[in-house]
Structure 1
Amino acid sequence: MTLGMRTGRGPESKSIDQEKVASLQRAGQKAFKAGDFQHALESFTQALAEKKDDISLLDHRCATYGKLKQYSLARNDARAMVKLAPTDERGYLRLGQVLRLDGSPEKALAIYEYALQKLPEDNRSRDTLSQLMKKVQDQLAGGNRRDPFTVLPLELAEWTLKSFSFQEVVGILRVCKGWNRLLRGIPSLWMDVNLTGARTRVPWTSVRTYIHQSKVTLTRANIHNIVPAATLKVLDMLSRCPHLEHLEVWVPHDNPPQFYAKIFNFKRLKTLVCSDVEISHAGVGEILSGLPLLEKAAFYNIWQTRHHSAPAWPEHLPNLKSLTIGSSRRDPTRPFTPFSSLVVPRLGSIAQPTYPNLEELRLVWHPARSKSFKFITLEQGETLPPLRTLELHGAQVQPDFYATLPNSLESLRCYAGSVDNFPPSLNRMNDAENELPNLTTLIFDDTPWVTLGNLTLFLWASKAPITTLHINYCHNISADDLIENFIDDPMQINPALSKITNLGIAGIAGIDDTNVKHICTALPDLKILELSETKITGCTIRMLADSKNDDSAMAKLDGVIIKRCDGVDPDAIDYGRSMGLLILT
């Protein structure tokens, strides 16, 4: 045959060479496996003399050079592999390994990055290369990282650690023994025990440990997620901390006398919050009398009115600045009784007020109804305390409610409720010269007594500098009422209304795209707009989004709330968000 007459290496010699190469390769692999790397090297070198461009042989010899720590020769073989087969991952893997063994992780990282650029997307080794690259990156980061607490002065380390939450400090304890010893040696880190973020039940023994770490100098405790049966035990341990000033108990407890007995031990308390603990009117009075330093008191589960208990509240609480009373009709077997006498049993006289420094009063009945409880009825010589914040959920107020509000008021929030003996024929509550010069936040939510006349009192008669106005679900107010009488304010009765930055008109009849445009033009400072359950469409969202980036006189809103607005299409929402408008749906 013609092929048999070729000069040089014919088919017979080639066949013999391939057999020789295969034999040498097997011998090298056997020696390598046995740990005889010198003989393995000789076999692979002889095989490469016969077939110098074989990737597998170069791979085997490169690995052998690595075992013999001849890294320079190993790099030569690995580079030859990359040059011969740029799309074969073996060369990159071997070269990266050699560079790492030779103490050059930065160069290895560059090789892995280069390989990911060269190899096709369907190469099965891309994940391996990515993992190796991440490992080298972590190695390099670790090599440059120093323990900050061994470098920083103790004062600076302590200041840094104080910026972490209690849960984060507990997590840092688990990093290493050195950090554990350091943190346990800084009592100031354990002054504030806050169990709010605990994912599982916290054993009472952990609370004991925290108190021990503070060396009994604990100042704040927020008790969540403990077994209710352990409440008294935890309170008993906390009572041994003479500097405790802030205590919040968010754990159910159904034995009020035992609870009172423990609470009275906290003589230095300035803040007390009781959430799920059932407390009677008498119990509240006893607690306020027994803890005269209290500045903030909140009781969210009042279940008995004053009429069922003889003890009265203290007549003078000069330190109390914030009072929250909450209740609900959770037990249908109990009769419904308003708790107005529970909330404020007496205001005192002008000469001797009961709450001379009370700034915040929150009365919360859940769920709020039109007549959940009666608000304060002022007697001759009585006035409301110098409140800055008043929040009422389900209050039945008196016709003189507006007239009795203090001039110090900055925030008024009313949810549901009604006006006592208020005939529908009356246009508004009792008028009075009450300008409310500090009122900046006015929120009415599902409050049926908010009519055009009553709203006029707050927005026109008061001259209040309101920046936040919500009349959500106040169905006696329409879009025309709002725009014609207040938004436009043609007579400029209260120019301050044009400075509103937060407006809520959810559920108001007649609110549509045209009205929203009118409102946003008339209120150029507007930043947040609540439009839930109105007839707006996607046109409003696109208009508000475009106005953020144009030169029009319209308000540049930061966000809009459009819950249950069926006329707004998803495309409009996506467009609005792409333009930087925060949209809550």
Structure 2
Amino acid sequence: MARTLSPEEYEEIGKSYYRLKQFEKAVEAFTNGIDASAIPSATLYDYRAAAHEKLGDMNAAVKDGRLAIRTHKQDVKGYLRTASALQKMEKLDTALNIYKYGMKNVPVNNKDFPLLLQLHDKLTRTLSPPKAIDPFTILPVELVEMVIGYLSFKNMINCLRVSRGWKEYLTNRPKLWANIDLSSATKSVSRSFLANAVRYSRGTLHTLTVHRVQHTDMLRNIATACENLHALTILSFPYKISETFIGMAQSAQNLKRISIYTEVSVDTMIQILRKRPALELVDLKDLCAAFGSAPMVWKGGPYNGLQTLALQCNASPVTLSDNFVSTFIQKAFDLRSLTCVNIKVQRDGIFGTFKLHATRLTSLTLKKFHGHVTIPSTLERLVYDPSYPAFIAEPSCSRSLTHLTLGDDVNLRRLSDFLDYSGNPGDETRLPIENAKPLQHLSLAGTIERDSVDNSTPSSTIVSTFLSTSPRILTRALTSLELPGQPLTDDDIDPIIESTSLTTINISNTNVSGYGIKKLVDGVPTLRHINADHCRNLSSRDVIEYAKKRGVHVSYTMAEPSNGAKGRKVRYG
């Protein structure tokens, strides 16, 4: 009986045929060796794969390489052979994955691991794109400036650190330094940085936002040297130096807009306007009254350019006499937008009147307001949230009003009179307002009471009946309606959906149920958002999913019980 050769003997025979370039016989010998092995060695698979490569059968070579990997994961031969065959088949991405897989399984201390790593890195470089080209060197200047313009000032500063070339390019583009915004500063801004930033602008600086700047003398110098500076925002200031604010306003010859977030006295505001009467916007976020000051009097004027004035008091209210206000209004006859937060208007120790009916205002915001107010016929937007039960004083005319927001302490019983008539109720001079514009936005925070409508009105339709008392409310022009906390029910929904083209409605903390929300979704095709937070009668999420499928987002939040009491958890829709 003939003796069977061992796998090692078949391997030697195959290697002899391989050296003689008899690759078919070599494949046969290596196959016999594999068949004779209980567990074929990685070397046998590797040699047979090499013979297949010589015969041009790359698929067979890859197959043998994968068999070697499967049976001998920690042997580098299978990975090298498989990746080599794949590269010859131009399957470079697959070959790279084989190298990566091998680097995970072959021990680092293997003597052939450096070769595996070397081939992996070489193939990675081959697959990498050509050497990157600096976009600043090939793109048009206008395009680069447009791209950089989308970056924040802080990110543009970070770009200076990319390379010397980028720094040279950016610092030689004055337009990129026309808006110096230090709002993202996390530590004190150095004198040298601020000086360099202004120097890079080469006189084009038009907008400056100040934050964490300790050198007030530099700010005055910048205001003097930068003739194009027209917008100044001060977010923080190291000291309460009114003279610095006034000096900057006086030095910046072309300043049009100033916003100050730090504490500023009324007297400082007067001085700023007197020194720079051509200002178009003044926004003071923390107005205060000077302690022990004499009665304030407007100095200077007229303020021909002033279009927007915003005054906000964060601590105790600032008290102004109505004569003081009237004098200013007469001098700022081009004023279009006025915002007052936490302001008192007094006359002889009692509530005074903000007499605005002779102005040309288009936007008026009065929050935490103490006093009376009259409005002009040009007013389009009104936010009125006084600090005591009140309403708009007469004479007023709401002919142009399209956006109306009324706070908690507004007497809603006079709403229809305000929207449809000019003059005091019962006065002979009281006349209907002709050609009045329909409302586009209405927000009512005050409670609509039973005595606001006819006694025969069902309790379930008090709100819709109240809204119907003025022909300016429920029209196709109305796109936004906010009725939080009102006694709104499902029955009130029908008149609303029949008359309006709402895109958003706030019915939070009302008695509307899922049925009412479904009526809104089905009845108003323009609707996109419903705020139904804290609606007690809304017990199922089914209607929320129903609305979502029809493109309407429903906000539905129920507050968690406090003090450990049991109850509903927070739910979001």
The correspondence of residues 55-70 of structure 1 with structure 2, limited to 5 A, is 56-57=42-43
Match of 1:557 in 2: 527
CA shift for structure 1 position 215: 2.0
In structure 2, C-alpha distance between the alignment counterparts of 1:187 and 1:355, rounded to whole Å: 36
Match of 1:338 in 2: 319
The 3-state SS of whatever aligns with 1:188 is helix
Match of 1:217 in 2: 204
Match of 1:409 in 2: 379
Match of 2:439 in 1: 466
**CA 1:187–1:55: 2 relative to 1, 3 Å:** farther
Match of 2:466 in 1: 485
Match of 1:317 in 2: 303
Q: 1:356 is matched with which residue: 319, 324, 333?
A: 333
List runs of 5+ in structure 1 lacking aligned partners: 26-43, 126-131, 331-335, 368-372, 423-427, 548-552
In structure 2, C-alpha distance between the alignment counterparts of 1:147 and 1:566, rounded to whole Å: 61
Cα deviations across residues 96-139 of structure 1 (Å, max 9, x unaligned)?
854897795xx3336789999xx9xxx999xxxxxx99x99998
Q: Could you tell me whether the CA contact under 8 Å between 1:343 and 1:363 is conserved in 2? A: no
Q: Which amino acid aligns with 1:300?
A: K
**CA 1:73–1:311: 2 relative to 1, 3 Å:** farther
Please state if 1:287 is matched with 2:249. no
Q: 1:250 is matched with which residue: 229, 235, 246?
A: 235
Match of 1:440 in 2: 402
The 3-state SS of whatever aligns with 1:308 is coil
In structure 2, C-alpha distance between the alignment counterparts of 1:183 and 1:414, rounded to whole Å: 48
The 3-state SS of whatever aligns with 1:506 is coil
**CA 1:284–1:179: 2 relative to 1, 3 Å:** same
**CA 1:149–1:514: 2 relative to 1, 3 Å:** farther
Q: TM (normalized to structure 2)?
A: 0.70
Query: What is the aligned residue count?
Result: 495
Q: Could you tell me whether the CA contact under 8 Å between 1:59 and 1:81 is conserved in 2? A: yes
CA shift for structure 1 position 244: 0.7
List runs of 5+ in structure 2 lacking aligned partners: 16-25, 107-118, 345-349, 422-431, 453-459, 558-573
The 3-state SS of whatever aligns with 1:298 is strand
Q: Which amino acid aligns with 1:561?
A: N
**CA 1:150–1:74: 2 relative to 1, 3 Å:** farther
In structure 2, C-alpha distance between the alignment counterparts of 1:294 and 1:359, rounded to whole Å: 13
Q: 2:62 is matched with which residue: 67, 78, 81?
A: 78
CA shift for structure 1 position 542: 4.9
CA shift for structure 1 position 560: 1.9
Q: Could you tell me whether the CA contact under 8 Å between 2:311 and 2:339 is conserved in 1? A: yes
Q: 1:170 is matched with which residue: 140, 144, 157?
A: 157
In structure 2, C-alpha distance between the alignment counterparts of 1:73 and 1:495, rounded to whole Å: 83
Match of 1:498 in 2: 476
Q: Could you tell me whether the CA contact under 8 Å between 1:411 and 1:442 is conserved in 2? A: yes
Q: Which amino acid aligns with 1:529?
A: I
The correspondence of residues 108-257 of structure 1 with structure 2, limited to 5 A, is 108-109=92-93, 142-143=129-130, 147-198=134-185, 202-224=189-211, 226=212, 229-230=214-215, 233-234=218-219, 236-252=221-237, 253-257=239-243
**CA 1:249–1:376: 2 relative to 1, 3 Å:** farther
Cα deviations across residues 446-473 of structure 1 (Å, max 9, x unaligned)?
2x22322234422675533210111124
**CA 1:431–1:282: 2 relative to 1, 3 Å:** closer
Superposed CA RMSD: 4.9
Q: Which amino acid aligns with 1:520?
A: I
Please state if 1:308 is matched with 2:269. no
Please state if 1:457 is matched with 2:418. yes
Match of 2:361 in 1: 387
Comparing 197-206 and 81-90, the one that deviates more:
81-90
Q: Could you tell me whether the CA contact under 8 Å between 2:357 and 2:377 is conserved in 1? A: no
The 3-state SS of whatever aligns with 2:370 is strand
Q: 2:258 is matched with which residue: 254, 265, 272?
A: 272
The 3-state SS of whatever aligns with 2:475 is helix
Cα deviations across residues 306-360 of structure 1 (Å, max 9, x unaligned)?
9824663234111111111111226xxxxx6523559735146xxxx31121001
Q: Which amino acid aligns with 2:62?
A: A
In structure 1, C-alpha distance between the alignment counterparts of 2:266 and 2:149, rounded to whole Å: 39
Please state if 1:527 is matched with 2:503. yes
In structure 2, C-alpha distance between the alignment counterparts of 1:261 and 1:340, rounded to whole Å: 27
**CA 1:482–1:287: 2 relative to 1, 3 Å:** same
Q: 1:296 is matched with which residue: 281, 292, 299?
A: 281
The 3-state SS of whatever aligns with 1:325 is strand
**CA 1:264–1:124: 2 relative to 1, 3 Å:** farther
Q: Which amino acid aligns with 2:507?
A: L
In structure 1, C-alpha distance between the alignment counterparts of 2:77 and 2:442, rounded to whole Å: 69
Q: Could you tell me whether the CA contact under 8 Å between 1:470 and 1:503 is conserved in 2? A: yes
The correspondence of residues 413-432 of structure 1 with structure 2, limited to 5 A, is 413-418=383-388
Cα deviations across residues 151-195 of structure 1 (Å, max 9, x unaligned)?
322233333433444334334444444333322221101101123
Q: Could you tell me whether the CA contact under 8 Å between 2:66 and 2:82 is conserved in 1? A: no
Cα deviations across residues 347-395 of structure 1 (Å, max 9, x unaligned)?
46xxxx311210011001299xxxxx966444xxx85421011000112
Q: TM (normalized to structure 1)?
A: 0.69
Q: 1:581 is matched with which residue: 536, 543, 552?
A: 552
In structure 2, C-alpha distance between the alignment counterparts of 1:440 and 1:467, rounded to whole Å: 5
CA shift for structure 1 position 248: 0.5
Cα deviations across residues 188-228 of structure 1 (Å, max 9, x unaligned)?
0110112334566655543333212212421101223x26x
**CA 1:439–1:410: 2 relative to 1, 3 Å:** same
In structure 1, C-alpha distance between the alignment counterparts of 2:97 and 2:364, rounded to whole Å: 62
In structure 2, C-alpha distance between the alignment counterparts of 1:57 and 1:361, rounded to whole Å: 87
Q: Could you tell me whether the CA contact under 8 Å between 1:527 and 1:556 is conserved in 2? A: yes
Q: Which amino acid aligns with 1:581?
A: V
**CA 1:486–1:147: 2 relative to 1, 3 Å:** same
In structure 2, C-alpha distance between the alignment counterparts of 1:390 and 1:189, rounded to whole Å: 36
Give aligned-pair identity as a percent. Answer: 19
In structure 2, C-alpha distance between the alignment counterparts of 1:178 and 1:58, rounded to whole Å: 56
